[in-house]
Amino acid sequence: MSVPPPPSPPPPAGARDPMTPECRLGPVTPEHRASGPPSQAQPLLRQEAKGEEEEGEETGAGGGRGDWRRLLAWLRRRRPQCCPCAAPLPRSAAHCCHGGTKMAALAYNLGKREINHYFSVRSAKVLALAAVLLLAACHLASRRYRGNDSCEYLLSSGRFLGEKVWQPHSCMMHKYKISEAKNCLVDKHIAFIGDSRIRQLFYSFVKIINPQFKEEGNKHENIPFEDKISSVKVDFLWHPEVNGSMKQCIKVWTEDSVAKPHVIVAGAATWSIKIHNGSNEALSQYKTNITSIAPLLEKLARTSDVYWVLQDPVYEDLLSENRKMITNEKIDAYNEAAVSILNSSTRNSKSNVKMFSVSKLIAQETIMESLDGLHLPETSRETSAMILMNVCCNKVLKPVDGSCCQPQPPLTLIQKLAACFFTLSIIGYLIFYIIHRNVHRKNKPCTDLESGEEKKNIINTPVSSLEILLQSFCKLGLIMAYFYMCDRANLFMKENKFYTHSTFFIPIIYILVLGVFYNENTKETKVLNREQTDEWKGWMQLVILIYHISGASTFLPVYMHIRVLVAAYLFQTGYGHFSYFWIKGDFGIHRVCQVLFRLNFLVVVLCIVMDRPYQFYYFVPLVTVWFMVIYVTLALWPQIIQKKANGNCFWHFGLLLKLAFLLLCICFLAYSQGAFEKIFSLWPLSKCFELKGNVYEWWFRWRLDRYVVFHGMLFAFIYLALQKRQVLSEGKGEPLFSNKISNVLLFISVVSFLTYSIWASSCKNKAECNELHPSVSVVQILAFILIRNIPGYARSVYSSFFAWFGKISLELFICQYHIWLAADTRGILVLIPGNPTLNIIVSTFIFVCVAHEISQITNDLAQIIIPKDNSSLLKRLACIAAFFCGLLILSSIQDKLRH
């Protein structure tokens, strides 16, 4: 995966560039200032000193072509001087004494600043928007030209991922379990008609329903199957040739008095080739027979699903002597005849009889593994049977990871109201923008005819809260439209994940190299300083993203290490919030509302737009609940903070009692599932924490990392106590402890880190690992913290690349569900089909830009919706409570309509 490096942030106002204007143009003495460029170059120098984003009245925006010409002409007129300040140039050039070197140095720096000016986060987002519009237009045109039926793609095209995983074109195929297949096919009758190849498909299809069903008995006769529990009936009817016998069997079903099968799968040709020794007369007779059967199949297709299976190729080298006449050339001729006749059997533009041609593509890749050259290997026919199951059942069960043959879900009442709200926001912002622009034009600076100078008759007014609000919801509405197009509308394509070691570890190595390359000095050298925690969040989030898109959850060692990364996020939650409350003592409602808003705003919007329960985005409910646990633990009487505890050590003991009580509550809820479920099954908590009708998933997620937040709080308490007593040496370049203690702790940390990795890699199953994970995950987390912070040089630097992603880690984690992955993380979004590498690059670029923009929108709205004034805040909270009450009522109405 390719992740674009983060753009450098613009310099703060008033900050000088590391290379000053004097250094760019050589040493400027008072004589030079007097005799230098009086009016040509000085405005440019002034503009550079202010920063590249300020527009100078003399030079225009960013320096025009005229400024460059005047500057170059002035440099040519200047007396040659040495240029020791041209640091970027080679040493030999630095000692030269001609104006060309100065021009090169100036061009280098100005060019670099011009690139940074035009290629910024803002320009990247504009490029991402243009890419989305272009791709949406291309996919829409493709859908109109090629059709919008994903069933056709499933039946006719695809490719192998690895050796056994089949990937249909543009959609995802669900792997059906026994219970799902029976549930879908209840009271259904499926009939297979044809030769031995159709019999193979019949057996593979039946084994999805009943794996114990054996292939035995006379092969050249009808074979029945029935599951009495689910009332599923599947029959194989032996008709190896397309002749009068097959026609009579099909004709019986066309009569009104006879029960018709719900699904009919037919096909035959190889017996005709074999019996008639591949003669042309046999092909002519085949065309005649299939022409007479075509109207009957078309009539059945009006009430049943009818599939004609095209003939698979053969492996001619393995064919026995009595089958040598069955050549791939003959098979292609028979397939062409079947397709042309069945597709033209109706006056309509499209035949109702569907061509099952995908098995031919599968056979082309696997027929070499055949035992006799004619019949497919078992894995290939299982794939064909699973495709048939997807065709029959996806529209009935609607699995999340089976997008083939699924219609677009209808809009719910809440989604329609959300669409109206965002539409009104966009219209309101456009009206506001037009009015604001007209006012700006009226107040445009005018020219004084007497002096020839411009006079400004208006002062820049601050941006109003209404404008920020409308602009934020306008942007958010466009972004949510993109979310919906990606993962709810059938506009963009989706594909299944396929794990290989290279798809996971190669991107990991790539981002590691980038992260090491972009390193800078930290502003402070304390343990877990802000830059370091942002870096930690950033690289963890990137690893988790790669883990999700590569499907690495199937590889147990990787799964266990990713579990530690999720635990590390929660550890930071305990550490960060405890530190804030302990040091600041700010238990006000404003702080609580700010945190809750920033955590939950995007998730609430996605729950509305994407029609998903709150618990679906499990990490945000997890962090939210743990934040409230930390707040309640420290805010309840007696409130113990660092300032109070410094005056009396007794308060430290009181805080430890609070933490001990918290640990006791955690243990009780962890081992009392009934009590936990009773608490979160109460209305309205149940509306937030239920998933698929119960809160078991929430209990499982909470229990999996139940101790790590407590560990984070305890670590923060111990660290701040040691820091207050000046036990730690946190100066720049200094080891955290004395050399001897530091070396011992580093050795223990490295051994502990490796020991945990060895244990995680040797786990036998997920259930066993998950049982021990809550107690032992803190070992690797603490080991990493000590390794990262004990050496002074390691604590003094950080990766700006990882830190940039760390600042938007929450948005990245949530947005990946729908606009990077697809089908609610089960698949991969495909914006550019046929080129997986380019698709990942483009989708990742858009995904990161969207996450960054949502982060800014959330910050802007937090300042408006959560004011610092308590009276205003209480009014806003009342409005938010009314909003959620209305949402609950609408959700209840929506659930009743569904049932």
Q: Which of 139, 174, 375, 711 is catalytic?
A: 375
What is the distance between the alpha carbons of residues 347 and 767, in angstroms, rounded to a whole number? Answer: 59
Q: Which of 98, 320, 372, 586 is catalytic?
A: 372
Q: What is the mean pLDDT of residues 256-285?
A: 92
Supply 216's token pair. 């035995």
220 is catalytic: no
Q: What is the mean pLDDT of residues 504-524?
A: 94
Condensed to tens digits (0 to 9), the pLDDT of residues 760-796 reads: 988 888 999 999 999 999 999 999 999 999 999 999 9
Question: With b meaning 16 or more CB within 10 Å and e meaning fewer, what string describes 660-676?
Answer: eebbeebeebbeeeeeb
Beta carbons of 500 and 162 less than 8 angstroms apart = yes
**Is the peptide bond preceding residue 684 cis, with omega within 30 degrees of 0?**
yes
Position 138 pLDDT exceeds 60: yes
What percent of the chain has pLDDT above 70? 83
Return mean pLDDT, the chain.
85
pLDDT of residue 117: 59
Position 348 pLDDT exceeds 80: no
pLDDT of residue 445: 58
pLDDT of residue 684: 86
407 falls in which pLDDT band (50, 70, 90)? Answer: confident
Give the SS3 label for residue 178. helix
Q: Name 160's bridge partners.
A: 166
Beta carbons of 173 and 166 less than 8 angstroms apart = yes
Domain parsing of the chain, residue ranges: 151-397, 497-830, 867-898
What is the distance between the alpha carbons of residues 626 and 279, in angstroms, rounded to a whole number? Answer: 77
Position 89 pLDDT exceeds 50: no
Condensed to tens digits (0 to 9), the pLDDT of residues 783-834 reads: 999 999 999 999 999 999 999 999 999 999 999 999 999 999 999 999 999 8
What percent of the chain has pLDDT above 90? 72
Look at residues 854, 784, 825 and name the one whose alpha carbon lies nearest to residue 569.
Answer: 784
116 falls in which pLDDT band (50, 70, 90)? Answer: low
pLDDT of residue 102: 59
CB atoms within 10 A of CB 350: 10
What is the distance between the alpha carbons of residues 513 and 632, in angstroms, rounded to a whole number? Answer: 42
13 falls in which pLDDT band (50, 70, 90)? Answer: very low
Residues 6 or more apart in contact with residue 150 via CB below 8 angstroms: 168, 170, 171, 403, 404, 405, 406, 490
Per residue, what are the HEC states of 65-116? HHHHHHHHHHHHHCCCCCCCCCCCCCHHHHCCCCHHHHHHHHHHHHHHHHHH
What is the distance between the alpha carbons of residues 143 and 316, in angstroms, rounded to a whole number? Answer: 39
- Helix (H) / strand (E) element for 573: namely helix 556-584
Q: What is the mean pLDDT of residues 168-181?
A: 93
- Helix (H) / strand (E) element for 345: namely none
What is the distance between the alpha carbons of residues 357 and 267, in angstroms, rounded to a whole number? Answer: 11
Residue matched to tokens 């590889």: 555
What is the distance between the alpha carbons of residues 391 and 153, in angstroms, rounded to a whole number? Answer: 11
257 is catalytic: no
196 is catalytic: yes
Look at residues 844, 882, 563, 890 and name the one whose alpha carbon lies nearest to residue 1.
Answer: 844
456 falls in which pLDDT band (50, 70, 90)? Answer: very low
Position 501 pLDDT exceeds 90: yes
Q: What is the mean pLDDT of residues 842-856?
A: 97
Q: What is the DSSP string of 790-813?
A: SSHHHHTEEEHHHHHHHTTHHHHH
692 falls in which pLDDT band (50, 70, 90)? Answer: confident
Which of 111-115, 188-192, 352-356, 449-453 has the highest mean predicted lDDT (pLDDT)? 188-192
- Helix (H) / strand (E) element for 461: namely none
Position 683 pLDDT exceeds 90: no
Lowest mean pLDDT among 14-28, 189-203, 850-864: 14-28
What is the distance between the alpha carbons of residues 558 and 24, in angstroms, rounded to a whole number? Answer: 51
End-to-end CA distance of the chain: 43
Beta carbons of 789 and 458 less than 8 angstroms apart = no
Condensed to tens digits (0 to 9), the pLDDT of residues 278-290 reads: 999 999 999 999 9
100 falls in which pLDDT band (50, 70, 90)? Answer: low
CB atoms within 10 A of CB 95: 13
pLDDT of residue 344: 78
Beta carbons of 158 and 169 less than 8 angstroms apart = yes
pLDDT of residue 54: 36
pLDDT of residue 196: 93
> Cα torsion at 819, 820, 825, 830 (round to 10°)?
90
Q: What is the mean pLDDT of residues 651-676?
A: 94
Q: What is the mean pLDDT of residues 521-543?
A: 95
Three-point CA angle 112, 117, 120, nearest 5°: 110
pLDDT of residue 437: 78
**Amino acid (one-letter) located at 261:** P
Q: What is the mean pLDDT of residues 233-247?
A: 94
**Is the peptide bond preceding residue 638 cis, with omega within 30 degrees of 0?**
yes
What is the distance between the alpha carbons of residues 742 and 788, in angstroms, rounded to a whole number? Answer: 12
Q: Which of 2, 120, 142, 196 is catalytic?
A: 196
pLDDT of residue 69: 55
Residue matched to tokens 């989305």: 132
What is the distance between the alpha carbons of residues 827 and 19, in angstroms, rounded to a whole number? Answer: 49
Enter the CATH code of domain 151-397: 3.40.50.1110
Better-scored residue on pLDDT, 239 or 79: 239
CB atoms within 10 A of CB 369: 13
CB atoms within 10 A of CB 207: 20
What is the distance between the alpha carbons of residues 772 and 780, in angstroms, rounded to a whole number? Answer: 13
Q: What is the mean pLDDT of residues 170-185?
A: 94
